[in-house]
Amino acid sequence: MEVDISDILDSVHSQPPHPDASATSTLASLSWTALADHMALTRCWTSERSTPHLLPYPTQLLERIQLRLRAQVERVEELAAGIPSKTTMTTAATTTIGNANANLNLTLAILQTDLSRTQFLLRSLLRARLAKLTAYASHYLSLLQSSSSPGADLASPAEAAFLTHHQALLTRFYDDAVLGSLPVSLRGLQDTAGGVRMVEGPDPEGTGTVFVRCLVDEWESSGDSSLRGGSGQRMSFRRGEVWVVRWADAEEGVLSGDLELL
């Protein structure tokens, strides 16, 4: 019996229905949804690493990815449990089921490779976000605590809890190391006296340059000069074009999904 890679790949794609999928969903639509989510995860990972600003947390996407990861782990464990140990098989049994085990081992290798790839993207995305949160803890904490700011969707509940705890530990350290010996009037960590803000944020004007690619037939910037760091010029991109622009000019298109960061 020869190993047929096409049959093995077909069996790998024939995964059980997604936990949140309806009963009428077809295998093709489920496969496309998984592929689209993986592409979206890759795009989120690239975007998060390409800009110094923290992007909105992709809640629904990561929830679907984590559900698929759990299902994939369970499937790998079930397949691995079905491989008999060589120490418990006779020579005749080993010869009989050798080809079947070869197919099963190859299937496991494919599933584990796909699982590791997705886990790497997810871990790297979360680490990039945590690096930004810890680098500008006071800035992002003030955004999350302000009900009138768009920071409500900026971080997940777990990230918000981490940031709150991190900033509390940092403030306590500053008090014990330095601030406790200073006059009360000089102990504030968020003073704006003299026009200088003590809370540092990531490039408040958004003047840093980024590489973007247009994903729609045509996209035009608003050209609103009141935007932070915006050039005030209306720019027009066509599908497939790659531009080097200010982050403030491309932020609107990236957040709407019309542009992607490279």
The pLDDT assigned to 235 comes to 81
Sequential pLDDT tens for the chain (262 residues): 444 555 555 555 554 444 444 433 443 445 568 888 888 899 999 999 988 888 989 988 999 999 888 888 888 888 887 765 554 445 544 555 555 666 777 888 888 888 899 999 999 999 999 999 988 888 888 888 775 555 558 888 899 889 889 888 887 887 777 777 777 666 666 666 656 666 677 776 667 788 899 888 888 877 654 445 455 567 888 898 888 888 888 888 888 888 888 8
The pLDDT assigned to 142 comes to 81
HSE toward the beta carbon, residue 216, CA cutoff 13 A = 12
The pLDDT assigned to 1 comes to 43
Long-range contacts of 80-83 (CB under 8 A, 24+ apart): 80/108, 83/108
Long-range contacts of 152-158 (CB under 8 A, 24+ apart): 153/56, 153/57, 153/59, 154/54, 154/56, 154/57, 155/54, 155/57, 155/129, 156/57, 156/59, 156/62
The pLDDT assigned to 20 comes to 44
Domains and their CATH numbers in the chain: 5-135 (1.20.58.1030), 203-262 (3.40.5.60)
Burial class (CB in 10 A: 0-12, 13-18, 19+), 8: middle
Q: What share of the chain is helix, strand, coil (3-state, %, to 5)?
A: 60, 10, 35
The CA distance from 41 to 78, in Å, is 26
Please provide residue 243's backbone torsions phi and psi, each rounded to the nearest 5 degrees.
Answer: -130, 155
What is the token pair recorded at 43?
């795009």
Distances (CA, A) of 88 to 60, 85, 106, 155: 46, 6, 21, 51
The CA distance from 120 to 110, in Å, is 16
The pLDDT assigned to 127 comes to 94
What is the token pair recorded at 48?
């998060």
Distances (CA, A) of 151 to 50, 126, 201, 251: 20, 17, 14, 15
The one-character DSSP state at 209 is E
CB 234 within 8 A of CB 223: yes
The pLDDT assigned to 218 comes to 87
What is the token pair recorded at 132?
């930004």
The pLDDT assigned to 4 comes to 56
What is the token pair recorded at 133?
């949160």
The CA distance from 225 to 163, in Å, is 33
The CA distance from 101 to 85, in Å, is 11
The pLDDT assigned to 145 comes to 78
